[in-house]
């Protein structure tokens, strides 16, 4: 949607090339800035209808700030993938941090909880807009995630060690493939 809205405003001699660095940190503001944030990061470009020389210029800039790989895709594919790989983890982190029992458990938080909730320290105004803007792609991912949680819940309720082991093994193998 953003790409089509921007193109309506541009003069014909100008190109818009959407870009998304796959780099970020928790927190917001200048205090969180880092000169190394893009080092080795991947960068998505959505060069729909852009002239090749402008795309090449942007790739040169992206590589110049330290990004490793430039990935080309259309804006719709970007939004579908980011719903899973960025938006869903932020939602999960927020849900974990909003747990009613966290106040009592705070002294027992270890590395796994900190890792899982790192992105909950977010720019709330920005993330509210990102999530609402991509809700059509996020909602199906939430359904899949809920279904996977329910599979684990059922295995626990039924004390089904085999099903639980299979689900955990599948997750472990998938993680190793990243």
Domain map of the chain by residue range? 1-73, 74-178
pLDDT tens string, the chain, 178 residues long: the values are: 787 788 888 898 899 999 999 997 777 778 878 888 999 999 999 999 899 999 999 999 999 999 999 999 999 999 999 999 999 999 999 999 998 777 777 788 899 999 999 999 999 999 999 999 999 999 999 999 999 999 999 999 999 999 999 999 999 999 999 9
The Cα 17–Cα 74 span in angstroms is 10
Coil, helix or strand at residue 151: helix
pTM: 0.87
- Name the fold adopted by 1-73: Rossmann fold (3.40.50)
Domains 1-73 and 74-178 belong to one CATH topology: no
- Give CA separation, 166 vs 52, 136, 148, 156, 163, in Å: 48, 31, 12, 12, 5
Please name the residues in contact with 122: beta carbons below 8 A apart, sequence gap of 6 or more: 26, 27, 28, 90, 94
CATH tag for 74-178 (out of 1.10.3660.10, 3.30.450.70, 2.60.40.420, 3.40.640.10)? 1.10.3660.10
H helices present in 29-134, as ranges: 52-64, 75-82, 88-97, 102-105, 111-117, 124-133
């Amino acid at each position: 949607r953003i790409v089509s809205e921007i193109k309506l405003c541009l003069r014909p001699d100008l190109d818009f090339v959407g870009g998304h660095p796959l780099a970020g940190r928790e927190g917001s503001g200048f205090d969180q800035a880092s000169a190394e944030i893009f080092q080795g990061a991947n960068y998505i470009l959505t060069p729909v209808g852009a002239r090749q020389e402008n795309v090449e210029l942007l790739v040169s800039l992206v590589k110049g700030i330290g990004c490793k790989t430039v990935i080309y895709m259309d804006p719709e594919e970007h939004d579908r993938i980011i719903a899973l790989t960025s938006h869903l983890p932020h939602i999960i982190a927020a849900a974990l941090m909003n747990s009613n029992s966290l106040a009592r458990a705070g002294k027992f938080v270890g590395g796994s909880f900190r890792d899982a909730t790192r992105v909950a320290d977010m720019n709330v105004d920005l993330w509210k807009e990102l999530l609402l803007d991509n809700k059509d792609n996020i909602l199906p991912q939430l359904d899949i995630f809920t279904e996977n949680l329910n599979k684990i819940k059922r295995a626990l309720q039924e004390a089904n060690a085999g099903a639980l082991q299979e689900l955990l093994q599948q997750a472990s193998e998938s993680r190793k493939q990243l």
